[in-house]
Amino acid sequence: MFLFLQSPLTRSHRTVRRGIVRRYEVDMVIVPATTGQMGVLPGHVATIAEFKPGVLSVHEGSETTKYFVSSGFVFIHANSFADIITVKAVPLDRINANLVQKRLVDFTQKLS
């Protein structure tokens, strides 16, 4: 998902899997970087950060949308554009907690 953050902060979010290209203006994005949760606001310094799998939340005004993202990169450009590129991004409401728990157990068994 490619989040293109344009003034104030437009986000262009692209995933490998779905290839959803969404461009929208948002107020803030919280990104699960490898160094911890990173908040990105308009005017953020230009940065390249890698993420670890986690929850990405997009705040637009009073609404917040949360996505679960697998690893990827975020490029924050100086003109308040942010590009978020991940392999997979799933909106949290599509994730079924029980199924995930079950699968986790299955895969942990397979690994060991």
Residues from 43 through 72 that contact another protein (CB under 8 A): 45-50, 72
- Exposed/middle/buried for residue 43 (C-beta within 10 Å: 0-12, 13-18, 19+): exposed
CA 73 to chain centre: 9
Tokens of 81: 């554009």
- Is residue 38 close enough to count as binding another protein by CB under 8 A? yes
Q: 99: part of which helix (H) or strand (E)?
A: helix 97-111
Span interacting with another protein, options 54-62, 80-88, 90-98, 99-107, rule CB under 8 A: 80-88
Q: Minimal distance in Å, beta carbon 61 to another protein?
A: 25
* Residues near another protein, by CB under 8 A: 2, 12, 14, 16-21, 33-35, 38, 45-50, 72-73, 75, 78, 83, 85, 87
